[in-house]
Amino acid sequence: MSSDSSPPSHPHSRLRSGEGTPVGLIAVAWLWVGAPLAYGLYELVQKATQLFTG
């Protein structure tokens, strides 16, 4: 065990270095969630327009 008990300089320093989650994986995750969300919002706007305009 080391006697150095100083806190890390930044809690998210791992994210700032080159290590961590690959950018491609983050992009795929956003698409995995964002595409169905965008489609659902599109359908919602279409149905709401039909509902309120007759």
pLDDT in tens, 1-54: 556 666 666 655 555 556 799 999 999 999 999 999 999 999 999 999 999 997
Q: How far apart are CA 31 and CA 25, in angstroms?
A: 10
- What the block records as the tokens of 22 is 């690959």
52 DSSP 8-state letter: H
Give the integer Cα–Cα distance in Å for 45 and 39.
10
User: What global pTM score does this model have?
Assistant: 0.57
Which stretches within the chain are classed as H helix? 13-16, 23-53
Cα 2 to Cα 7, 28, 30: the distances in Å are 13, 40, 40
